[in-house]
Amino acid sequence: MRFFIVPGHRVVTGGDFTLNDLSGSTGRLDILLRCVNSAFFLSNSIRQDVELYLVLLGQPEPPKTVKFVGSELRYLNPDERSTAALVRSALMKRCEGEWARSTPGIYVARKGFDEILAECAGRAGEIFHLREGGQDMRDAEFAAADNAFVLGDQYDLTAGEEEAVARFKNRALSLGQKSMHTDHCITIVNNALDRACR
Amino acid sequence: MRFFIVPGHRVVTGGDFTLNDLSGSTGRLDILLRCVNSAFFLSNSIRQDVELYLVLLGQPEPPKTVKFVGSELRYLNPDERSTAALVRSALMKRCEGEWARSTPGIYVARKGFDEILAECAGRAGEIFHLREGGQDMRDAEFAAADNAFVLGDQYDLTAGEEEAVARFKNRALSLGQKSMHTDHCITIVNNALDRACR
């Protein structure tokens, strides 16, 4: 299994937003929507072995996490607008500390970064932090079948988030010399793992 | 220079569409919008060394090509909706066989696949056709600094398009065993070239 964890440092935690201004009024939810696309889509199928955790930290109810489970997903299309509608439905659902199912494969809970990290660490062999200066992923070996990948959104991880990662078995990975968008990094990680496992 | 050429086999060639239904009423323009994102965006900049050609083949005025020139681009944002607005502006512009400038870095002309291929072949050392069964890109050597990459949209190249490619110095490349979306392929090609050139 591949777990991707992406904090949305300013992304809204309520469903009161319009689908017509996703990059303006949502605290850059659009960035995370593109991560959904790159985490799950193959040419004619959905990746069954991926789970994606979007940890939303903006107003009005931070923190809140939207979880996508590849093996259960239905109604997911590649465009930003329809994915935003699914996230909005999840954010409109009443939830507490346990996962509540919104639509098939999409769950929501009032969980923050540390809690999500602990959940994934309990199921993954290692946590990989994607960032500049890490070991080149092409040279990395993946001892376990299940791995978690933590990526920043348009902001790096905060000091507190880095400390949370450091509490678990972890390694910093990079994908080359150029700094890329989060969704592009997920695409490249998926492709690298596909190749490593063939 | 990197040239990316993507035919939109059913994508509309007129600007009479709504931004609220990009994956429904435009012949899947949304697929090509994601290619614009992956061709040009780095974390905090636009790739200056990329040109992207979207060859639109749907109604009402096929063929028509929208060209993006990285070194001249302004007003480009990563989300699908705002990129769609730029493409719509280009498609609303009156044009004939020569490139007409729509907004900075974006041009439109009544040119088809063969003509675009010839234009790019004249400036690139080789034309690479991304498809299943090609040589793995990781093992490929790029003799020239300037290369053109041809990718299908949700459809493979037609027999006629394949014949057009075969008229030039060309090679088939693949990116692994799994079949991926076009925009994901562009992301991986960009990353592979970044690494090859460091």
Give ipTM to 2 decimals. Answer: 0.97
Indicate the SS3 state at residue A59: coil
What per-residue confidence (pLDDT) applies to A144?
A: 87
Q: Which of residues 171-190 of A touch B (CB under 8 A)?
A: 175-181, 184, 187-188
Q: Is residue A151 scored above 80 in pLDDT?
A: yes
Q: Do B81 and A178 touch (CB under 8 A)?
A: no
Q: What is the mean pLDDT of chain B?
A: 96
Chain A contact set for B43 (CB, 8 A): 178-181
Q: Are strands B2-8 and B147-150 parallel, antiparallel or unpaired?
A: parallel
Q: How far is B187 from chain A (nearest CA, A)?
A: 6
Q: Distance between CA B81 and CA B136 in Å, rounded?
A: 34
Q: Distance between CA B79 and CA B81 in Å, rounded?
A: 6
B194 confidence band (pLDDT: 50, 70, 90)? very high
Chain B contact set for A180 (CB, 8 A): 41-43, 191
The percentage of residues in chain B with a pLDDT greater than 90, rounded to a whole number, is 93
Indicate the SS3 state at residue A96: coil
Q: Do A19 and B20 touch (CB under 8 A)?
A: yes
Chain A contact set for B44 (CB, 8 A): 179
Q: Distance between CA A198 and CA A140 in Å, rounded?
A: 16
Burial profile A26-42: b = 16 or more Cβ within 10 angstroms, e = fewer: bbbbbbbbbbbbbbbbe
The arithmetic mean of pLDDT across residues A141-165, rounded, is 95
B47 touches chain A (CB under 8 A): no
A118-133 pLDDT, tens digit each: 999 999 999 999 999 9
B74-84 pLDDT, tens digit each: 999 999 999 99
Q: Do B184 and A177 touch (CB under 8 A)?
A: no
Pick from B26-35, B115-124, B134-143: least confident: B134-143
What per-residue confidence (pLDDT) applies to A197?
A: 73
What per-residue confidence (pLDDT) applies to A143?
A: 84
Q: How far is B14 from chain A (nearest CA, A)?
A: 21
Q: Which of B22, B77, B198 sits opposite A81 (nearest CB)?
A: B22
The percentage of residues in chain A with a pLDDT greater than 90, rounded to a whole number, is 93
A6 confidence band (pLDDT: 50, 70, 90)? very high
A191 touches chain B (CB under 8 A): yes
pTM (predicted TM-score)? 0.98
Q: Is residue B198 scored above 60 in pLDDT?
A: no
Q: What is the mean pLDDT of chain A?
A: 96
What DSSP assignment string belongs to B85-125? HHHHHHHHS---SS-EEEETTEEEES--HHHHHHHHHTTSS
Q: Which of A20, A79, A188 sits opposite B23 (nearest CB)?
A: A79
- CA-based nearest residue to B68, from B94, B82, B48: B48
Q: How far is A175 from chain B (nearest CA, A)?
A: 8
A196 confidence band (pLDDT: 50, 70, 90)? confident
Amino acid letter at B48?
Q
Q: Do A177 and B187 touch (CB under 8 A)?
A: no
The arithmetic mean of pLDDT across residues B14-35, rounded, is 97
